Amino acid sequence: AQSVTQLGSHVSVSEGALVLLRCNYSSSVPPYLFWYVQYPNQGLQLLLKYTSAATLVKGINGFEAEFKKSETSFHLTKPSAHMSDAAEYFCAVSLNDYKLSFGAGTTVTVRA
């Protein structure tokens, strides 16, 4: 079975600072990996997706994530945080590209 672990349930950053959200996966076969963002009382929006094509994946809103097999990690970064980045972020893993298992989520707050 596959799973993901998100390290840190809450991350607080200053506006303009680096955003780093950590995700480690466990999978018996090469997985598909995803990052989603959820704003309050809304559904999920896909930020980016890893499908084994390239280890550095660029997503929307300036986010990117790097797949590191040796570390079983798929950390999400954004060089400069914006107030609008305040939200809940979920890492997810899938073996077949559509049935997802989600991490516990990381809440991001951005300080002015």
Partner 1 sequence: GAVVSQHPSWVICKSGTSVKIECRSLDFQATTMFWYRQFPKQSLMLMATSNEGSKATYEQGVEKDKFLINHASLTLSTLTVTSAHPEDSSFYICSATRLAGVGYEQYFGPGTRLTVT
Q: Is 27 near partner 1 (CB under 8 A)?
A: no
| Residue 87 · residue 104 · CB < 8 Å | no
Q: Is 62 near partner 1 (CB under 8 A)?
A: no
Measured from the CB atom, the residue of 17 and 100 that comes closer to partner 1 is 100
Q: Is 24 near partner 1 (CB under 8 A)?
A: no
Q: Is 101 near partner 1 (CB under 8 A)?
A: yes
Q: Is 100 near partner 1 (CB under 8 A)?
A: yes
| Residue 6 · residue 72 · CB < 8 Å | no
Q: Which two tokens stand for residue 42?
A: 């809304």
Number of other residues whose CB lies within 10 A of the CB of residue 42: 10
Measured from the CB atom, the residue of 14 and 42 that comes closer to partner 1 is 42
Q: Is 29 near partner 1 (CB under 8 A)?
A: no
Measured from the CB atom, the residue of 9 and 80 that comes closer to partner 1 is 9
CA distance 72 to 106: 18
Kindly indicate which of the ranges 16-24, 42-50, 56-64, 68-76 contains the residues binding partner 1, using the contact rule CB under 8 A: 42-50
Measure the CA angle with vertex 70, ends 25 and 91; round to 5°. Answer: 25
